[in-house]
Amino acid sequence: MCGTTLMLMQTGCPAQRAHGDDFDTGEIWFGVYMGQKKIGYQQVTYGPADYEGERVQAVRTKGRQQIAMMGASMVQEIESVQYVRKDGTSLGMVFDMASGGSKQHLVADFLDDRVEYTLETSEGEKEGTVPLPKGAKIIDPESGLTDGKMKPGDKLTYYQFVPILLNIIEGEAECIGDEEIDYRGEKVTATRVEHRTSFMNMTVWVDDKGEPLLMETPIASLRVVREPAEVAQKLEDGEGYSPPVDLIAELEIKTDKPVVNARQIRGLRLAVRNLSRKELAISDGRQVVSDLAQADGKWSATYQITTETPPEKPAALPIDDPKVAEYLRPTTMIQSDDQRLIDAAKEIVGDETDSLKAAQAVARWVNENMHTRADIGLVRSSLEVLESKEGVCRDYAALFAGLARAAGLPTRVTSGIVYWKNGFFYHAWDEVWVGKWMAFDATVAPGYPVDATHIKFAEGDVGSMIDMISVIGTIGIEIEEYH
């Protein structure tokens, strides 16, 4: 999931503004760091362009990140062009991303009340629409605060389209004021702007032209630093580039005491601190959150997780309960109405009408037919994963959701953390309605029942993973008891 954060920081790099009566032309380079370890670079070029007959500014971003994931080298390459008016209003974008042999190409138009896009992946081309909140505009947040207009206390609410997750986020930018910072070994004065969204907070320091010098987020200690081109592109240290310490190990959440035989744990009570938002504290039939408290802008809570007991008589297929109907519908990322997923689901489930047994069959099939591959740094759909049958936990969860919905099982993708070896790690799995919501983890054989060390922070579609990004590298855990 941290790979998603890298993509979001890259695609969210502030655009350059127009000055005077014309558009600026220029180029800026950035180095991308995890703490003090360099993991990539970005190039931003900007200049005038024509967009559907209108003279606008084209902001082109090109970047590359390379990190280690589970012992494999994962490379992410992104190219994007965003078309922006002088007032910061974005009219459209073209977005390309490649990683581990997989590619995505997206073209989007930003209209008054919606975003219309065409997405091309290995499983074909698909058109889609994302509605905009009433009165909202897709804008470059820096444009409304800079270019000689920014003063401490100024705030701006903005909306941005996130191409990797095909959704729209709301954010707020606030000018804090001038301060002295360490910038490439020197003390310089820059203007600090705080960006707050539902998934990630980011601090940006800009120069007197409103152009970014430094961007930081607490998530995995990620930093983007403006550098000369030759410095930004230099990843090698002597005899070639080796990705820094494995990201999975880097983001392990250590606990005050170990959990023995984690896969056998059926009840767990723990304290979670430093949650960024109250909405991450989800209570349901499997986990109960109590003692929710806020201090210094962060939330803490006590979690009691218990492995579910299945209903005595699981729901029979087909399930037509209106309260879970939305979890049967196809989406851009879970294409459960596609014949390829329908045929695969029919082969897996057969004539089984017991929803619990059908869900177990899907979990077994996904676990047995998928192969772990950690170097694909894209968020992929159910169909894309069905085609390759390889990936990490989010891919297992996406494929399970597509097959389960195609089989008539109301299913939602969940994300959070799970205990493994000596600590907690970020993870994704699924929940299926079988008369009640039950957890299934196709990444871990046999996929059911799911142990009580799975702690959920977000649920919904594949894109719901964005909701919990803000906890990556920030939360703390204390184990209270387990059995």
pLDDT band at 302 (very low <50, low <70, confident <90, very high): very high
Please give the average per-residue pLDDT across 238-252, as a whole number: 65
**Cβ pair 232, 449 in contact under 8 A:** no
Residue 33: in which H helix or E strand, if any? strand 26-34
Per-residue pLDDT reduced to its tens digit, 347-374: 999 999 999 999 999 999 999 999 999 8
Rounded Cα distance between 401 and 286, Å, is: 19
pLDDT at residue 215, rounded to an integer: 94
pLDDT at 238 over 90: no
Residue that is written with structure tokens 């049967």 in the block: 328
pLDDT at residue 2, rounded to an integer: 43
Query: What is the CATH topology of the domain spanning 262-482?
Result: C8orf32 fold (3.10.620)
| 213 Rama class: left (phi>0) / alpha (psi -120 to 50) / beta | alpha
pLDDT band at 151 (very low <50, low <70, confident <90, very high): confident
Q: DSSP string of 213-272?
A: EEEEETGGGEEEEEE-HHHHT----SS-----S-HHHHT-B-BSS--TTGGG--EEEEEE
Q: Give the CA dihedral 344, 348, 350, 353, nearest 10 degrees.
A: -110
pLDDT at residue 146, rounded to an integer: 52
pLDDT at 144 over 80: no
Cis peptide leading into residue 322 (ω within 30°): no
Q: Return mean pLDDT, the chain.
A: 89
pLDDT band at 243 (very low <50, low <70, confident <90, very high): low
Q: Which two tokens stand for residue 38?
A: 């360099």
Which residues have a Cβ under 8 Å from the Cβ of 45 and sit 6 or more positions away?
Answer: 26, 27, 28, 59, 60
**Cβ pair 212, 29 in contact under 8 A:** no
Q: Give the CA dihedral 324, 328, 331, 335, nearest 10 degrees.
A: 160
pLDDT at 139 over 80: yes
pLDDT at residue 472, rounded to an integer: 83
Per-residue pLDDT reduced to its tens digit, 202-222: 999 999 888 899 999 888 788
Domain boundaries along the sequence of the chain = 2-247, 262-482
pLDDT at residue 19, rounded to an integer: 46
Q: How many CB atoms lie within 10 A of CB 72?
A: 16
**Cβ pair 452, 265 in contact under 8 A:** yes
Question: Which range is least confidently modeled, 11-25, 36-50, 431-445?
Answer: 11-25
Which phi and psi (to 5°) does residue 165 adopt? -120, 0
Q: DSSP string of 435-483?
A: SSEEEE-TTSTT--SPPTT-EEEEEESGGGGGGGGGGTTT-EEEEEEE-
pLDDT band at 142 (very low <50, low <70, confident <90, very high): low
Q: Which two tokens stand for residue 271?
A: 């304290």
Q: DSSP string of 66-120?
A: EEEETTEEEEEEEEEEEEE-TTSBEEEEEEEEEETTEEEEEEEEE-SSEEEEEEE
Residue that is written with structure tokens 């459209």 in the block: 92
Rounded Cα distance between 280 and 431, Å, is: 17
Q: Which two tokens stand for residue 421?
A: 């070896």
**Cβ pair 456, 464 in contact under 8 A:** no
pLDDT at residue 239, rounded to an integer: 47
Per-residue pLDDT reduced to its tens digit, 53-95: 999 999 999 999 988 887 788 889 999 999 999 888 999 999 9
Per-residue pLDDT reduced to its tens digit, 256-275: 999 999 999 999 999 999 99
Rounded Cα distance between 393 and 273, Å, is: 24
Q: DSSP string of 370-387?
A: -EE-----S---HHHHHH
